Structure 1
Amino acid sequence: MTFSYLINRTVKGLNKEFYLHHFWCICFAPLFILYFSWWDGTSFLSFKDEITQKSLYQSFVAVVLWVLYPYARFAYLSILEYTGLYTIANFLTAVTIGIFNLVSMVLCYSFGLFIAPIGFLCIFLIIRNQEKKQEKESQLQQFNQAIPPLPTVEEELAKWSALYREGKISKEEYFKIADSLNVKDK
């Protein structure tokens, strides 16, 4: 298993629309962190003159978590779907669901460094199972193409009748075969 194999099955395995949707849904969190890591604290639009190591570290972590968030959210949604907790939403109000989604978004963002590998693993396993299923289907299709179709009872009876008329088989053999074909047909 090569590194490019893993990258193609995990990082590139997430649907582009899903990734971009969740990437932009959480954009308020890293922008909030970036703003306050560079803000000097005096007025709304005044920023620090010098770059500190703490500000760079906070910015780097915010961007990394932003990039990893869609994978963490995928893991979270996969677990919800697998356990069947998605159906709980049918019994909750819209405000409760909104608050629950906001809290889960913040948690997935905050712990994205730890949850995203679970998302990578989920994506890898899903894609691997799909590939195995496709491989089995292609093998079955090749197997079905390799085996000629069985003749029908009428075709088989016509073949043995021709052999009987040519004198290659006896009358007893012909009737024995004809009786066995009729038994199969019933």
Structure 2
Amino acid sequence: MRNLFYRTLGGLGVAVYLRHLVFGLIFPALLYYDHRNKIDQVTLQSYLLVIGNCVLYPYARFAYERVINFILGDNFFLVNAGLMLFTKLITMAICWTLAIFMAPIGLLFLFFLTDSDS
């Protein structure tokens, strides 16, 4: 069982997990800013969903990056920086919103990609 946790939850590495976690905290901040005057109307389920999305976002982002790397390979594109940042923000928002559904895919990737001998 310990091997299962190591190969999935510990497979990203602390630095990568924290980096994605910090970027994932952008969206709760935006939600708070949007609902700051209606904070008493927010339900417990909403808080749990936001916390779940934040915790699972790094694994969802990992799954997204693996799929995109598979599709694009080692190619790179020269585009306008503003367009690239906007695209990154949109993909981050999609990954954060769908983290509950995408994270299991990322955890499966990590399970099969992480060395089982460690």
Q: What TM-score, normalized to structure 1?
A: 0.56
Structure 2 stretches lacking a partner, 5+ long = none
Q: Would you say the 8 A contact 2:3–2:116 is kept in 1? A: no
Q: Would you say the 8 A contact 1:33–1:59 is kept in 2? A: no
- Shift of the 12–91 alpha-carbon distance from structure 1 to 2, 3 Å rule, reads same
How far is 1:117 from its partner? 0.5
Matched pairs, number: 118
Which has the higher relative contact order, 1 or 2, with Cα contacts under 8 A spaced 6 or more apart? 2
Q: Is the aligned partner of 1:73 residue 2:71?
A: no
Alpha-carbon RMSD: 2.2
Give, as a single letter, the amino acid of the residue that structure 2 aligns with 1:16. V
Q: Structure 1 residue aligned with 2:12, among 11, 14, 34?
A: 14
Aligned partner of 2:83 in structure 1 is: 96
Q: Structure 2 residue aligned with 1:56, among 33, 44, 60?
A: 44
Question: Aligned partners of 1:63 and 1:7: how far apart in 2?
Answer: 20
- Could you tell me the percent identity over the aligned residues? 27
Q: What TM-score, normalized to structure 2?
A: 0.85
Give, as a single letter, the amino acid of the residue that structure 2 aligns with 1:19. Y
Q: Is the aligned partner of 1:30 residue 2:28?
A: yes
Greater Cα radius of gyration, structure 1 or 2:
1
SS at match of 2:89: helix
How far is 1:76 from its partner? 0.6
Q: Would you say the 8 A contact 1:10–1:120 is kept in 2? A: yes
How far is 1:5 from its partner? 2.5
